[in-house]
Structure 1
């Protein structure tokens, strides 16, 4: 297999190790074996757990990078046939992205998720590791009941919801609320082949009225989550545009039904400084048929509205641009009218025998003698004679401040 060239451009390590070697798996490993190997190594080298060891983050990147090749059937096939040469440049971008720790966590969780859905998260590696190893305490949460608790920051309380055939068919809802308006995440884990639990879904608490809440709705039809981060970014850039983005955050949930059996949910404390108080409840949708129908209807309305808004935004932007155009023109037109009238006044005022005025009003005596002052004062005035006259004579005509009331011409 072609491992000839190991150089791959400035952003990537000079020496690339074979991804199979990095993950310690054989060439004929199954997807599941590759994923399990990846998870073990990713947890081992995760930057969260290796603050004092800078090499760990390099190893973590290498592990994540190797996994990104072997977990993608197309990239794996290309690599198997012709080594790194065969991989196109954009598959290399991941390395650059991973240099930023926030992305590491997002990337990490996305690869961690059993469904391969991109989970945006900063859930601590310890919680994920304990779940994967199955070393967490799971409390039962019977359908139709609620449990209240307080969870420390960056810790999680796990709950097992057991459902039978009928309940699974009717649909299940798991909701968490906090009257203390704590920040938390509701997590859903799927049973892993090795007996642990892999993170599959996550909902961040949202503030609604006087509580914060998060819910997961497994109702056999497509339900949606509202990802408000889309909106937060828009808000900052363009408050008006934020309105148009508000419904863009509505994203389809990846899981719409649960099979009979026990399902693992967790409440994760997301507050920075204090514990999160919460109440978690699990209900069967059977007794909420009207509510379920309402949810289906309202989400359909929101999706229709979202399409309307997309069209309206284009219209609105066009009108806004036109408005900008006319207000700019308004400003220009106003300036040009002011200028024309000013010039007209200037021309009017140059029809005069008095070619200049003395601002101090102390009777400047003009040399041409064709104007005489009413008070007949013939002294040179306080100006100091001709010097003052020359200065005022040099004034441009449009700067003259001719006020008719001051000068009475004979």
Structure 2
């Protein structure tokens, strides 16, 4: 699959089944019911659990494809009115880069990386399954407090953050930091219809200064997350132009506010060899009004800058091409000037009574002769036709002059 990693050829089911049938839901199912059905099936075909069953990934794709239609109100409406044809007319090529299915899918970290290469999912099936079954231990994380811990690789520690009406209204921030620079993920789960928890958001730890950290910001306005894979891909393709992609990774977060009640977060150990040590804290934005405003302003500036950069990139590329043009011309012009002056020297030195076997070299013969008299290290009879000797002659003159002038100065 190419960069766009469109679902084409063998990936698209030859005979497409009705998405409602694939997800075993009825035509009048709610969004929540569709999401729950999708999560169960995606978990069923999760590669962790189907190492020996190659058909699982095809079924996973079919489930993901069906969900991509039914989870989008517009696509669902088109499908209901005129089937797949309506979607095809709208060039509904399923992008299996599941990031566009909404962050709920990062839970099964799309079987496909951004490059369209199948990859193992990032969160272990066990953790997702236990959460979905509601069999996880949830520790309370009171607002305004922090908890430290160490989580084993591919395991998760779950925390319940309970907020009241007033706190929900002000906004909530949950952050995890690791001074040991451990790799981890911060996960946010939604309450599922059957009492379990379904993963809704995930944030990978990023290195900032001397720590690794990840945060989720529920502040009632559109906040953004930085998806660093965008920039990493740009780096690989075009290191020169990667700078222009640095802000492209800023993607809007799907959840911008939390309702009053208990919300489930988890820290997932991403280190393959050792436990991840972390500190998780939950704060209410009420006590951080200035900081909240700063974040809002900063992200607005970044988005403006991103648009400026898009325009500047075109300008820069144009200027770069023009620069290439003029540097090439510079090199050519320099060569032709050097050539003309060399010819001129040759012509000047032809006005001579000294017979020379080598006509073109007669000029250099003279200069070499004179320089050798001064330095006394070369006999005038030597053939000085070579450029090298010509240059050395000039250099020595220059050195002599310089030494002379130094003495005068002293």
TM-score above 0.5, yes or no: yes
Task: Spell out the pairing of 1:73-112 with structure 2 (5 A cutoff).
Answer: 73-80=73-80, 82-88=82-88, 93-94=93-94, 106=106, 108-109=108-109
Change in CA separation of 1:183 and 1:353 when aligned onto 2, cut-off 3 Å:
same
Unpaired runs of at least 5, structure 1: none
Structure 1: distance between partners of 2:75 and 2:295 = 40
Task: Tell me: CA distance 1:260–1:86, structure 2 relative to 1, closer, same or farther (3 Å).
Answer: closer
Q: Secondary structure at the match of 1:400?
A: helix
CA 1:279–1:69: 2 relative to 1, 3 Å: same
Contact 1:231–1:249 (CA<8 Å) still a contact in 2? yes
Q: 1: distance between equivalents of 2:100 and 2:380? A: 83
Q: Is the 8 A contact 2:42 2:63 kept in 1?
A: yes
Q: Kindly indicate whether the alpha-carbon contact (under 8 Å) linking 2:153 and 2:272 is maintained by their aligned counterparts in 1.
A: yes
| Contact map agreement 1:362 1:381 (CA 8 A) in 2 | no
Larger CA deviation: 11-20 vs 215-224: 11-20
Give the C-alpha shift of residue 160 in structure 1: 0.1
* TM-score normalised to structure 1 length: 0.72
* Cα pair distance change 1:135/1:96, threshold 3 Å: closer
1:347-368 CA-to-partner distances (Å, cap 9, x unmatched) read 6677789998489999999999
CA displacement 1:167-188 (0-9 Å, x = unmatched): 2222222111100001111111
Instruction: Give the distance between the partners of 2:310 and 2:3, measured in 1 at CA.
Output: 49
Bigger radius of gyration: 1
Q: Could you say if the C-alpha distance between residues 239 and 142 of structure 1 is closer, same or farther in structure 2, counting changes exceeding 3 Å?
A: same
Deviations 1:152-204 (A, max 9, x none): 22221110001112222222221111000011111111112221112222222
Per mean C-alpha deviation after superposition, the further-off stretch among 336-345 and 206-215 is: 336-345
- Pair 1:378–1:69, CA change in 2 (3 A): closer
Q: Can you give the 5+ residue segments of structure 2 that lack an aligned partner in the other structure?
A: none
- Asked if structure 1 preserves the Cα contact closer than 8 Å seen for 2:69 and 2:75, the reply is yes
Structure 2 length normalisation: TM-score? 0.72
Shift of 1:338: 2.8
- The answer to whether the Cα contact below 8 Å between 1:145 and 1:283 also exists between their aligned partners in 2 is yes
Aligned residues: CA RMSD? 9.0
Q: Does structure 1 retain, via aligned residues, the 8 Å contact 2:350–2:362?
A: no
Q: Distance in 2 between matches of 1:386 and 1:370?
A: 15
Q: How many residues align?
A: 410
Greater helix share, 1 or 2? 2
